[in-house]
Amino acid sequence: MKLQAVLFDLDGVIMDTAEFHYIAWKRLAEELGIAIDREFNENLKGISRMESLDTILRHGGKADDYSAEEKRDMAERKNSHYVSLLDRLKPADVYPGIRELLLALREAGIPAVVASASKNAPQILRALELSELFRFVVPPDSVPRGKPAPDLFLRGAEEVGAAPEFCIGIEDAQSGITAIKAAGMTAVGIGSEAMLKAVGADVVLPDTRRLSLEFLRGLLSA
Ligand code: BG6
Ligand code: MG
């Protein structure tokens, strides 16, 4: 089997922006009198800004306390804080192995795609000087459903003319692994083996160090 495309999640796979999202949500939640911790934060990974806010409000028993406009303001407040944390991003912040993998993919003519729920993805890729290494960044609003639905991954594969069964998706979130498997692709998890295998990851690595083109090709020929 021949590898036709690799689809990357961004936050928590390309760099540590998952932590910035957590810090920004925690600050907003505190303003609202809602306590969140890292364990709860796992539920927020991979899902959109507004869905994350709704999940936090439900968690705090405040699901019906705010108008749509108030919720939009809260989401904007969280985003401003998040974007201010991005201020100091630099190319050296890319996780180990990622730039090397992207260069190897380009050399081999295999498209790399970003399939992230984040509307901030293009800005982050620019700051990390990675934009030219991706053939396509799926605009999150271009698909009807976010993760755990397969839409973002299917749209990315379609754009670069790749068949899902010859694609590999890389994710740190349970919702993302579920989305990759629902798209009919091979799923590589980055993070906790127990958590990501539980939702169907084909293989889980503790971090990005061991990700290489050779490793990914080996998964498809296994
Ligand atoms: C996902 C993150 O990639 O993007 C979520 O895992 C985040 O934590 C979501 O909420 C939306 O990101 P943004 O940048 O559009 O608020
Ligand atoms: Mg992620």
- Taking the complete model, does pTM exceed 0.85, yes or no? yes
pLDDT of res. 1: 66
Residue 13 Cβ inside 6 Å of ligand 1? The answer reads no
Per-residue tokens: 159:
């754009």
pLDDT of res. 221: 79
How far, in Å, CA of 195 to CA of 104, rounded?
Answer: 29
2 CA from centroid of ligand 2 (Å): 26
Listed in sequence order, the DSSP H helices in 42-97 are 49-59, 68-85
CB–CB of 128/182 below 8 Å? no
pLDDT of res. 88: 85
Per-residue tokens: 34:
């809602």
Q: Hey, how many other C-beta atoms are within 10 angstroms of the C-beta on 144?
A: 8
Closest CA to 170 of 154, 153, 155: 153
Question: Exposed, middle or buried: residue 71 (CB in 10 Å: 0-12, 13-18, 19+)?
Answer: middle
Annotated active-site residue 11? The verdict is yes
CATH superfamily assigned to domain 18-88: Putative phosphatase; domain 2 (1.10.150.240)
pLDDT of res. 60: 97
Residue 49 Cβ inside 6 Å of ligand 1? The answer reads yes
Do 5-15+94-221 and 18-88 show the same overall fold?
no
91 CA from centroid of ligand 2 (Å): 19
Residue 208 Cβ inside 6 Å of ligand 1? The answer reads no
Amino acid sitting at position 180: I
Based on its alpha-carbon atoms, the radius of gyration of the chain, rounded to whole angstroms, reads 17
Residue of 10, 44, 47, 153 with the most ligand 1 atoms within 8 Å of its CB, for mutation? 47
How far, in Å, CA of 8 to CA of 43, rounded?
Answer: 19
161 CA from centroid of ligand 2 (Å): 24
19 CA from centroid of ligand 2 (Å): 10
Each of the 222 residues of the chain gets a pLDDT tens digit; together they read 699 999 999 999 999 999 999 999 999 999 999 999 999 999 999 999 999 999 999 999 999 999 999 999 999 999 999 999 998 899 999 999 999 999 999 999 999 999 999 999 999 999 999 999 999 999 999 999 999 999 999 999 999 999 999 999 999 999 999 999 999 999 999 999 999 999 999 999 999 999 999 999 999 976
Q: Going by C-beta distance under 8 Å and a sequence separation of 6 or more, which residues neighbour residue 67?
A: none
How far, in Å, CA of 121 to CA of 141, rounded?
Answer: 12
Domain ranges of the chain: 5-15+94-221, 18-88
Which is catalytic among the residues 9, 151, 172, 202? Answer: 9
CATH superfamily assigned to domain 5-15+94-221: HAD superfamily/HAD-like (3.40.50.1000)
CB–CB of 9/124 below 8 Å? no
Residue 202 Cβ inside 6 Å of ligand 1? The answer reads no
CB–CB of 74/66 below 8 Å? yes
